[in-house]
Amino acid sequence: MREIRSILYYRLEKGISADQTARALKVSKGTVINTAHRFKQSDLSWPLSSDIDDAILEHALYPPRNPKSSFKSKGLPSTHYLEEELARKHVTLQCLYDEYCQSNPDATSRASFYRYFKNNRPKPFSMPMEYKGGDLLFVDYSGDGLEYINKETGDIISVELFCCCWGASNYSYAEVTHSQKKEDFVHSHPRAFRYFGAVPHGLVPDNLKSGVKHADRYEPILNPLYDEMTKHYNTVGLPARVRTPRDKAKI
């Protein structure tokens, strides 16, 4: 039970300052000010009548909220719609919130929007993965490449973004190459090893042709050049399973 009655007695009956009231009751000054403000906004008057006990007083100043009904009144989109939109490329929850605000002048706050989605979305079934330090390095290309401008010709040159990430620490390396061909793909690995100063026990690439000749759930066949590179550095290639993004969720 909050110290509502005592706070009101100190402030309204005795006229004691908010600082002194907070020290006397061992509560924060903000609590004292907030309680007095809520009492002023309520229909109650001081002194309180004898039929108002502590429970009634608290209910009057701190009425229970129904978050679901308040969310409905704000015109929030369904979580099913939000889930479908988030599955699209480049769509984030921030984008969906901005879209919601544009169509709803009485929009709720961003924190409430995020909380609404988190509390009402279907709970996914998943198994957390644990990684040992130095064990696995996840490798892939970014879905979106980058580009640069040739200063001599003014041409816009498209490049691929190579990325790799340690499973245990998330320590990452990235570089750009002109293609995803096997030569570019394979040579990016030694540069990453030099950057990290270490070689992993295993490499987990996606099933791109530059690294995997034949994708298979149980016995994938590595591209010969990629296979030679793994043998040279005394590591192994462990390609992610086809259409199983959780296998390479780190990268």
Q: What is the pLDDT of residues 41-56, one digit of tens each?
A: 888 888 888 888 888 8
> Is the sign of the CA dihedral 219, 223, 228, 232 positive or negative?
negative
State the pLDDT at residue 72: 54
Q: Are strands 236-237 and 202-205 parallel, antiparallel or unpaired?
A: parallel
pLDDT at position 75, please?
77
CA-based nearest residue to 200, from 189, 184, 211, 212: 189
Over 80: is that where the pLDDT of 68 sits? Answer: no
Interval 128-148 mean pLDDT: 90
Dist CA 77 CA 55 (whole Å):
36
Q: What pLDDT does residue 212 have?
A: 92
Percent pLDDT > 90 in the chain is 38
The residues spanned by each domain of the chain are 4-61, 67-120, 136-248
Closest by Cα among 203, 204, 220 to 212: 220
- Four-CA torsion 6, 9, 14, 17, nearest 10 degrees: 60
Task: Tell me what the mean pLDDT of segment 3-12 comes to.
Answer: 88
Across all residues in the chain, what is the average pLDDT? 87
Mean pLDDT confidence for 145-163: 93
CATH class, 136-248 region: alpha beta
Average pLDDT over residues 143-165: 92
Q: Which residues pair with 177 in a beta bridge?
A: 160
Which two tokens mark 41?
């906004």
Residue 2: partners with Cβ closer than 8 Å, 6 or more residues away: 31, 35, 58, 62
Higher pLDDT, 25 or 172: 172
Give the residue-averaged pLDDT of 123-141.
86
Are the C-beta atoms of residues 159 and 146 closer than 8 Å to each other?
Answer: yes
Write down the pTM of the prediction: 0.58
- Paired strand residues for 202: 136, 236
CA 10 to chain centre: 45
d(CA 199, CA 206): 18
Q: Are the CB atoms for 44 and 58 separated by under 8 Å?
A: no
Give the pairing of strands 172-177 and 146-149: unpaired
Place of tokens 């907030």: 34
pLDDT of residue 74: 64
pLDDT at 67 over 80: no
